[in-house]
Amino acid sequence: MTLILSLRGAAPAATISAMVAGGFLVADIVQGKYFWYHGYPAAAFCAAAACVVIFPRLRQLREAALPARAIATGLYGLGAGAVVVLFLNRFADGRPIMHDLTWAGVLSHPRALAVSPQEDTSFPLARRIGAVWVGHSHSQWIARYTRFALGSNSLTSEERKLYLEYHRSDLDAILREIRDKRPEIIIEDVRPTFSWLEPELNALQPGFLDDYAVIADEGAVRVLRARWAVGPVSPCPPSEGSKKLDRDPGAQEGFPRG
């Protein structure tokens, strides 16, 4: 729309696009989530504003000398290239990808859950192997962000207590789902950044993965399969770790203290 307005000679087109971009940036800052992809709308409107401003100048370059045209075209090209590179880098977010899927050949739409603080590890892999997701959530993202908040010294005692409850509730939820829904496979994100998750779950329910064995491991992503699903054997009884969970949030271990 801004390009159409600019062709009609509407001067405010670039200003309107810039204002909309500013609005998106303000909303992003106010929300305080700071996910990189939330900046894409602002970037798109900034690009539109730039096009509106640059387009008339490109038309004027037809009458300029060749050196001036070459310099201007080169500068505009560098700017466009920088925008493209930034977009590509944001989409290439470094998520771990499992390349060898030969282990999935023996599976038939397995029921799946994730032990992962981040959703971009489990969902793409589950989709590739045709798994059926049985969890209420894609990851333990609540535990991840509350853990980050609990590392702050700015929390009041009431806020800390509330965040501990949220954190514990998220961990309890995945432990209950592993016990009650009995997924055939569990996808784990085992990157060093998230090495805190499994020990915290083990502290709440020792041996919660005893009924599972690793069938694939590529360093950052690990896949476990239920022992009862391998061969014509009866399902294993629940492990000792699948007893009723202690609901006392004060018993949670492994938090950085403020």
**In the structure, what pLDDT confidence band is assigned to residue 26 with cuts at 50, 70 and 90?**
confident
pTM greater than 0.75? no
In this model, does residue 76 exceed pLDDT 60? yes
- Average pLDDT score over the chain: 79
- Look at the chain and count its residues: 258
Cα–Cα distance list, 144 to 86, 170, 200, 232 (Å): 27, 9, 12, 38
pLDDT tens digits along 85-123: 766 665 655 677 888 999 999 999 999 999 999 877 888
Q: What is the pLDDT of residue 249?
A: 39
- Report whether 189 contacts 221 (CB < 8 A): yes
pLDDT tens digits along 151-167: 888 889 999 999 999 99
pLDDT tens digits along 38-71: 777 887 787 777 777 777 777 777 777 778 778 8
Give the start-to-end residue ranges of the domains of the chain.
2-91, 102-251
CA-CA distance, 176 to 168, in Å (whole number)?
A: 12
Task: Tell me the average pLDDT across 178-185.
Answer: 95
**In the structure, what pLDDT confidence band is assigned to residue 11 with cuts at 50, 70 and 90?**
low
